[in-house]
Amino acid sequence: MLKLDHIGIAVKNLALAREVYSTLMNEEPYKKETVPEEKVTTLFFKAGDTKIELLESLDQDGPIRKFIEKKGEGIHHIAFEVPDIHEAVRDLKKKGFRFVDENPKKGADRKLIVFLYPKNTHGVLIELCQSLPE
């Protein structure tokens, strides 16, 4: 069984989104992080047993900027934590799933990440993530 890790939300302006989500959730984010490899800055909020990740593009060619231009602000991805990301990729490939890139890479919040093609998952971008040791 997969464990929901977080929901990623693409935003145009991280400072404005922070105000909205801090007010909505009645708390401040617990982490801000820039991930140059993904061309993104993130903010994380705790939401019960899961998290909300706000994502702002660092540049015009970043995937978040392209997503917002195409679909507007909103839910970008749903992330599930797996104990072994390499095993999960092998298993899902055998079951016919395709990946944006099969090689896990470093993401935000001390995670290795990989994304499944949304066409395999009814239009939802699914991220698999594995926690890295501290």
User: pLDDT grade, residue 133 (50/70/90)?
Assistant: confident
Q: What is the pLDDT of residues 96-117, one digit of tens each?
A: 999 999 999 999 999 999 999 9
Give, in order, the Cα–Cα distances in Å from 5 to each of 13, 16, 27, 47, 126. 23, 24, 19, 10, 11
Domains of the chain and any CATH numbers: 3-131 (3.10.180.10)
Provide the pLDDT confidence category of residue 134 given band limits of 50, 70 and 90.
confident
Query: Could you report the per-residue pLDDT of 9-64, keeping only the tens digit for each?
Result: 999 999 999 999 999 999 999 999 999 989 999 999 999 999 999 999 999 999 99
Position 2 confidence tier, pLDDT thresholds 50, 70, 90: confident
Is the pLDDT at 75 greater than 80, yes or no?
yes
Q: Which two tokens stand for residue 85?
A: 């990301």
Mean pLDDT over the full length of the chain: 95
Looking at residue 126, its amino acid is I
1 Cβ contact partners less than 8 Å away, ≥ 6 residues apart: none
How far is residue 126's CA from residue 99's CA, in Å, rounded to a whole number?
10
- pLDDT of 57 reads 97
